[in-house]
Amino acid sequence: MSTPAPALSVLDLVPVRSGQTSAQAITAALGTAERADELGYRRYWFAEHHNMPSVASTTPPVLIAAAAARTRRIRVGSGGVMLPNHSPLIVAEQFAALEALAPGRIDLGIGRAPGSDPVITQLLRQSGTTSDVDRFPQNVTDIRSLVSAEGASVRFTSGGTYDVHATPAATSTPEVWLLGSSDYSAQLAAGLGLPYVFANHFAGEGLERALDLYRGQFQPSDTLDAPRTFLTANVVAADTAEEAEAAMLPQARMMARLRGNRPLVPLETVEQAAAAAAADRLAAPVLDALRSRWFIGTGLDVRAKLAEFAARHGVDEVMISPVAGARDDEPMDAAPARLRTLELLAA
């Protein structure tokens, strides 16, 4: 008997390849979101990263609004908003407005990591005490109150309260998820009674422990009565295993640059990566490690591996980050290899 296939969702960092403009990269991402909607994927999330030449997903709320306008069924959201970079009220207002634009289709995934280097982090966090990482749990709680129909109340030390609503007359609220890759995030999600996503696509270590902590310490809340979680994974599916191996190399080399503290550049094309790899062996030390955690191969092979992965960890959904690189002759405003990954896995 075959293992049941999990529901599939998409995580998009809006990759920027060599020679591509931000406008072209975003156009390609929105086209991918449209196709995911047509293919029946459950949700489509945009990540928050800053000052990276290979990533254009700096402002998830803007991208979510654009994707919501171009899709009909799929849930759209953030994976995630890095909360210490923003005022909780601003995040609440943005996602309350998104929920008003696309009722019942908005996910607010919240993370604690900076999403960039220390210099950019300091620039993002010049807003004062709202950006204090130590206040993260309280800020998450505040956002949940602010986006609700009841709103939140500010209590003055001198007495009295002041009511605050993210939108004046909310009839539905975005679904809030806590994201993370550590024991801390798992325990916080459990304590707050929130759904939780372990960021397996970039931090494969500690997955089992985080899920055990989340499930074992979960406290029911007014929005969730039992643990709810899914996992992320880097995925490349192609018509042949050889094509998939070639398509994973640009992203693998970018990961090698990141881990080796080398200057970051736009993603190489498949041909550029193959030529460079033969000369500098940049990704050679990390390729085996990536292959052990990424899902690479034909659509049939990857679907089977994802089903086994989901069953092993007791989840019914996997959010794939389609990391297939582009070829030299492919249009700049589309992502054929990423689209092919989605199509093969949905078949």
293 touches 231 (CB < 8 A): no
Number of domains within the chain: 1
Checking if the pLDDT of 25 tops 60, the result is yes
* Whole-number Å distance between alpha carbons of 319 and 340: 16
State what percent of residues in the chain have pLDDT above 70. 92
Comparing 167 with 236, which gets the higher pLDDT?
236
Comparing 286 with 147, which gets the higher pLDDT?
147
Asked, for residue 197, whether it belongs to a domain, the answer is yes
Q: Whose CA is closest to 302, among 287, 324, 285?
A: 324
Asked, for residue 31, whether it belongs to a domain, the answer is yes
In tens, the pLDDT along 111-147 reads 987 655 666 666 666 555 445 677 889 889 988 988 8
Give the model's confidence band at 287: pLDDT under 50 very low, under 70 low, under 90 confident, else very high.
Answer: confident
Tokens of residue 10, six digits: 């998409």
Strands 175-180 and 196-198: parallel
Q: Whose CA is closest to 180, among 201, 192, 196, 191?
A: 196
Full residue range of the structural domain in which residue 158 is found: 7-242+292-346
Segment among 227-231, 279-283, 299-303, 315-319 with least mean pLDDT: 279-283
Asked, for residue 249, whether it belongs to a domain, the answer is no
Checking if the pLDDT of 263 tops 90, the result is no
Checking if the pLDDT of 149 tops 90, the result is no
Asked, for residue 255, whether it belongs to a domain, the answer is no
Asked, for residue 2, whether it belongs to a domain, the answer is no
Q: What is the pLDDT of residue 169?
A: 79
Asked, for residue 190, whether it belongs to a domain, the answer is yes
User: pTM for this one?
Assistant: 0.92
324 touches 248 (CB < 8 A): yes
CA distances from 120 to 80, 125, 149, 221, 286 (A): 17, 9, 35, 35, 27
- Residues of 171-202 as b/e, b for ≥16 C-beta within 10 angstroms? eebbbbbbbbbbeebbbbbbebbbbbbbbbbe
Per-residue pLDDT, averaged over 72-88, amounts to 93
In tens, the pLDDT along 195-227 reads 999 989 876 688 999 999 999 999 999 999 999
In tens, the pLDDT along 158-188 reads 778 888 888 877 889 999 999 998 899 999 9
Q: What is the pLDDT of residue 291?
A: 76
Asked, for residue 265, whether it belongs to a domain, the answer is no
In tens, the pLDDT along 91-102 reads 999 999 999 999
**Residue 46's CATH number:** 3.20.20.30
Q: Whose CA is closest to 32, among 264, 342, 291, 346?
A: 342
Asked, for residue 266, whether it belongs to a domain, the answer is no
